[in-house]
Amino acid sequence: MTDPAKTEDEGGPIRFMPQLISLDYTVRTNPVAEAFGAALADGRITGHQCPNCHLVYAPPKGFCPICTIETTAEHEVPVADTGMVTSWTVLTPIQYTGQRERHDYALASILLEGADGTVGQQRLLEIPLDEIRLGLKVAAVWAPPNQREADDRGYGLGTAVDGWRPTGEPDAPAADYREHTL
Amino acid sequence: MRDVAIVSFAQSGSLVDIAASETQMLLPVINAAVERSGIARADIGFTCSGSADYLAGTPFAFVANLEAVGAWPPISESHVDMDGAWALYEAWVRLQHGDVDVALAFSSGISSRSDLREVLCLQNDPYYLMPLWADHISLAALQARALIDAGLATEGDFAEVVARSRRSASTNPFAQLSGDVTVESLLAEPYTAAPLRAADCPPITDGAAAVILVAGDLAREVCERPAWIRGIDHRSEAHYPGLRDLTRAGSARLAGEQAGVGTAPVEVAELSACFSHEELLLSTALGLGDDTEVNPSGGSLASNPMMVSGLIRIGEAFRQINENGRHRTLGHAASGPCLQQNLVCVLEGDS
């Protein structure tokens, strides 16, 4: 690839203008995400259960987006660190600067037992890529306690879980995950 | 044209350095606007939001904000990367189609997590001004200087605008800056960007606001004193400030004319003047005289949640009719450096 900073024709019209921009932001972790992160550090996954429709959101949002009512610590419920695969993608890492992945790997959406929505972008471990399937039962492989950092905006599980391994149980029937394949 | 009225308005008030997410901030505000309207959420036919992901530094933050709306079953919605006043405009246009009667417009902004003097540089043209990092306060100061040089205003005039804004804001529970300050004490303060001082510039505010628009007779059924949108228009200057006569707010004048501001007296004008001198420019451009009360809320100098300030101005103009029994008011919104874009919304009560 040619250097985009240079014009193709010296003396010709300027076609590209490199302009590096850096913006600084303060990231504030909201109180709901903070409580979720503290539980993760403790090896627990928690959710908020809507008092109206009873759906459980993990990670918790601090509200039910369907009923549009706020939820607080009093609506906190435990969620299991086991669940099933409802969709997955095999990624082939391209070797750009900073890329730490070297081999194909799989990220999955996982429906945890006790939650009504999936947790996305979870790494699958200990299974050949061509054996991954919908309904596969998995269990969390927790990171060592001192390495469990929650996402600072409350998305996903941060670095608390290294990935998910098959439990060896029979696959869940399609009816159990049909509404969660995306 | 279909008659469309504002029937309810809600705002978060001036939040400072909040820890909540933008969606968490929005949820109670939207709920309050919907509840006050007396209309079932399921009857809202169109939803439009305004926000800028650059403020919080979260890509696609505007999508997450929809979780505060109650978007299941699926709704018809849209988003503008503009102040919520433009979301209101889009909602008004949508209601003109005639097939839906109720619309929700809302906006949110977290100004406290970035340096606005950095982030707002990105609204400039990318070739000439952006590489100079010409920030919004410095550009505003150039406009203030142009007014002084043309003999159209003095620094004392700017200070009087600030003093009146703070005094008016004393009765507004949603204001951030209020109280009694004298022109002399304001003029004794150091410059932030000459000839502007800190008090001539807006505070850093986080916040959210929401309005419900209703078309036709339904507005009278659900609201005792709806505020009818009798004129609404928005206009833009040339993008490059160097091409403009900064001593005039030409696009504000055009928007005001198109919205019919001058066809009858205006009792209250809520102007989105983020800098003190902008109020002088706007009052002239809109032809407002001594019989018009300007910014009884304190205006954007007293509270300035980015992307929300303009919608709040229209909401305050609505409140003047709905709660205070005024007949004809206007709300104004602005966007971009040096009043680059302007929206004017003229509201009238039934009597």
* Across B291-300, average pLDDT: 98
pLDDT above 80: residue A16: no
In a domain, residue A54? The reply is yes
Two tokens, residue B273: 């003047």
- Residues of chain B with Cβ-Cβ distance to A28 below 8 Å are 17-19, 113
Give residue A3's pLDDT.
Answer: 54
pLDDT above 60: residue A56: yes
Strand B102-110 and strand B46-50: pairing? parallel
- Chain A residues with beta carbon closer than 8 angstroms to that of B58: 153
Residue A153's pLDDT band, with cuts at 50, 70 and 90, is confident
pLDDT score for A8:
55
Residue B37, burial from CB neighbour count under 10 angstroms (0-12, 13-18, 19+) = buried
Distance between CA atoms of residues B166 and B158, nearest Å: 13
Chain A contact present for B72, CB below 8 A:
yes
Amino acid B289: pLDDT: 94
Tens-place pLDDT, residues B213-249:
999 999 999 999 999 999 999 999 998 999 999 999 9
| Contact between chains at A23 and B30 (C-beta distance less than 8 A) | no
Closest CB to A24: pick one of B69, B115, B122.
B115
Residues paired with residue B105 on neighbouring β-strands, in sequence order: B48, B211
The predicted-structure confidence for B237-288, as pLDDT tens digits, reads as follows: 998 999 999 999 999 999 999 999 999 999 999 999 999 999 999 999 999 9
Closest CA to B180 of B171, B193, B192, B191: B171
Question: What are the structure tokens assigned to B73, written together?
Answer: 């079953």
Q: What band does A2 get if pLDDT is binned at 50, 70 and 90?
A: very low
Q: Are B95 and B46 in contact (CB under 8 A)?
A: yes
Nearest CA in chain B to A17: B127
Please provide the average confidence, as pLDDT, over all residues in chain B.
Answer: 97
Mean pLDDT of B149-155: 98
What CA–CA distance (Å, rounded) separates B200 from B275? 5
Which positions 97-136 of B are in contact with A (Cβ < 8 Å)? 112-115, 118-119, 122, 126-127, 130-131
CB neighbour class for B225 (10 Å; exposed up to 12, middle 13-18, buried from 19): middle
Q: What is the mean pLDDT of chain A?
A: 92
Which chain B residues are Cβ-neighbours of A63 within 8 angstroms?
23-24, 27, 67-68
d(Cα B46, Cα B101) in Å, to the nearest integer? Answer: 9
> What is the H or E stretch that residue B140 is in?
helix B136-149
Q: Looking at residue A1, what is its pLDDT?
A: 41
Span B303-320, average pLDDT: 98
Q: Which residue of B has its CA nearest to A63?
A: B24
How many Å apart are CA A97 and CA A69, to the nearest integer?
44
pLDDT band for position B79 (50/70/90)? very high
The total number of structural domains in chain A stands at 1
Distance CA A142, CA A125 (A): 12
Residue A6 pLDDT exceeds 70:
no
Q: Determine the 3-state secondary structure of B277 from DSSP.
A: helix
pLDDT band for A18, please (50, 70, 90 cuts). confident
Q: How large is the average pLDDT for residues A168-179?
A: 96
A26/B118 CB distance under 8 A: no
Please give the residue range of the domain that contains residue A130: 31-180
Q: Which of A22, A23, A50 to mutate to test the interface with B (most CBs of B within 10 A)?
A: A23
Q: Looking at the domain that runs over B4-113+204-222, which CATH code has it been given? A: 3.40.47.10
The arithmetic mean of pLDDT across residues A37-44, rounded, is 96
The answer to whether residue A67 sits within a structural domain is yes
**pLDDT tier, B22 (very low <50, low <70, confident <90, very high otherwise):** very high
Domain-embedded: residue A8? no
pLDDT of residue A97: 84
A153 CA: distance to closest CA in chain B (Å): 8
- In the numeric block, which tokens belong to residue B302? 């007293």
CA A62 – CA A29 distance, rounded (Å): 13
Q: Which residue type sits at B42?
A: A
Q: Which helix (H) or strand (E) holds B56?
A: helix B53-56
Q: For the purposes of burial, counting CB atoms within 10 Å of the CB of B132, is it exposed (0-12), middle (13-18) or buried (19 or more)?
A: exposed
Q: Tally the residues of chain A.
A: 182
Residues of A within 8 A of B130 (CB-CB) are 19
What is the amino acid identity at position B8?
S
Q: What's the first-to-final CA gap in chain A, in angstroms?
A: 36
pLDDT tens profile A74-131 = 999 999 999 999 999 999 999 988 899 999 999 999 999 999 999 999 999 999 999 9
Residues 6+ apart with CB under 8 A from B187: B155, B156, B159, B197
Instruction: Report, as an integer, the average pLDDT of B138-167.
Output: 98
pLDDT tier, A59 (very low <50, low <70, confident <90, very high otherwise): very high
Cβ–Cβ < 8 Å for B315, B209: yes
Cα distance between residue B186 and residue A171, in whole Å: 72
pLDDT at A9: 65
CA distance A57 to chain B (A): 13
Residue B10 touches partner A, C-beta closer than 8 Å? no
Give the neighbor-by-neighbor strand order of the sheet with A45-49.
A56-57, A45-49, A76-79
Exposed / middle / buried, residue A178 (Cβ in 10 Å: 0-12, 13-18, 19+): exposed
Chain A residues with CB inside 8 Å of B23's CB? 61, 63
- Three-state DSSP state, A63: strand
Percent of chain B's residues with pLDDT above 90: 95
List the single best residue of A17, A25, A34, A57 to mutate versus B (max B Cβ within 10 A): A25
Note the Cα B36 to chain centre separation in Å.
21
User: In B, which residues are within 8 Å of A24 by CB distance?
Assistant: 114-115, 118
Could B20 and A30 be called an inter-chain contact, meaning their C-beta atoms sit closer than 8 Å?
yes
Inter-chain residue contact A27 with B24, CB threshold 8 Å: no
Question: Is the bond into B73 cis (omega within 30 degrees of 0)?
Answer: yes
Contact between B115 and A31 using a beta-carbon 8 Å cutoff: no
Establish if A94 belongs to a structural domain: yes
Rounded-to-integer distance, Cα A5 and Cα A17, Å: 6
The answer to whether position A68 is within a domain reads yes
Q: How many angstroms separate the CA of residue B52 from the nearest CA in chain A? A: 14
CB contact under 8 A, B112 and A65: no
